Structure 1
Amino acid sequence: MILDTLNNGSQYTSLHPLFAKAFDFMSQNDLVNLEDGVIQIEEGLKVIVSKANGKTAEASLTKFECHDKNIDIQVCVSGLETIYWKPREKCVTPNGDYNPEKDVRFFNDTPDMKFQLTDGQFVIFYPGDVHAPMIGEGEIKKLVFKVKI
């Protein structure tokens, strides 16, 4: 997992061939005014734009998730978002089977930590990062880049 601000995004472009395209997209678009929906940037890279009210921790933890085939770059455009996290290697209580169509698996484990994102901050979740996002009060606008491994 990596936490930082968009001002430092260029420091991470060498970590994956598509990260540069994701950070270029962010620098070349007015993120505040992007409409909700899915934008296919290129093969292996898309962004999901959403604006929604935050959830309770309890509601978010019902979908304590990780992915096998994608890296998430989650960007808080506006609002205050709390995210729970735990390393996958410490998760021992699966919640259902892996869904290959949605590339998601869920756990019922207790998170190890929580952190907050606000305007212009991002987190990169690798397959080893189990996370429960969108916890908060009020409206949260965010981008979730799906980067194929």
Structure 2
Amino acid sequence: MILDHLDNADRYMKVHPGFAAAFEFLRSQDFSQYKEGRHEVDGERLYLMMNRCPGRGRSGAIFEAHRKYIDIQLTVSGVEEMGWRRTASCEQVKSPYNAEADYALYTDEPTFWMSTPPGYFAIFFPDDAHAPLAAECDLVKAVMKVAVDWA
């Protein structure tokens, strides 16, 4: 898991071959022009999920974990709160892994909570179970889905 401000994204460009394209996209867009939902960037390798929704609060947060995609979750407005826990330590399965949808859901307690104000992002790898939308405010988030297998 990586937590940082978009101004520092250059530090992470070499972590994964798709990160340069993902961060270039995040830096160049006016997200007020995007409707909620999926937007293609580079086919199945890289796409945007635009979220505009109220937070569920910590008590309503549910862990998700992915295998095929890395999430780069950028807060556009609101102050997001997210829980984190190692995927390998999640034991309370709410929904087993669904390969087509690329997620498993868990109801475990987080190891810690983090806040991401506008301009901050969190990168979640397959080892990182994350409980997004735990804020108690309206949120706008740009979530880049970066294929683990970039080839």
- Counterparts of residues 66-77 of structure 1 (less than 5 Å): 66-77=65-76
1:16 is paired with a residue whose SS is coil
TM-score normalized with structure 2 length: 0.91
Q: Which residue of 2 aligns with 1:59?
A: 60
- Counterparts of residues 110-149 of structure 1 (less than 5 Å): 110-149=109-148
1:25-60 deviation digits (Å, cap 9, x = unpaired): 112212344332311110310011121111122222
Q: Distance in 2 between matches of 1:120 and 1:80?
A: 10
Mean CA deviation greater in 49-58 or 5-14? 49-58
Structure 1 regions of 5+ residues with no counterpart? Answer: none
Mean CA deviation greater in 137-146 or 119-128? 137-146
Q: Distance in 2 between matches of 1:100 and 1:130?
A: 16
1:134 is paired with a residue whose SS is coil
1:93-123 deviation digits (Å, cap 9, x = unpaired): 2223211111001122211100100110000
Give runs of ≥4 in structure 1 deviating > 6 Å.
none
Q: Distance in 1 between matches of 2:136 and 2:17?
A: 35
Structure 2 regions of 5+ residues with no counterpart? Answer: none
Question: How many residues are treated as equivalent by the alignment?
Answer: 147
TM-score normalized with structure 1 length: 0.93
Q: Which amino acid aligns with 1:124?
A: I
Q: Which residue of 2 aligns with 1:11?
A: 11
Identity of aligned residues (%): 35
Mean CA deviation greater in 90-99 or 123-132? 90-99
Please, what is the CA RMSD of the aligned residues?
1.3
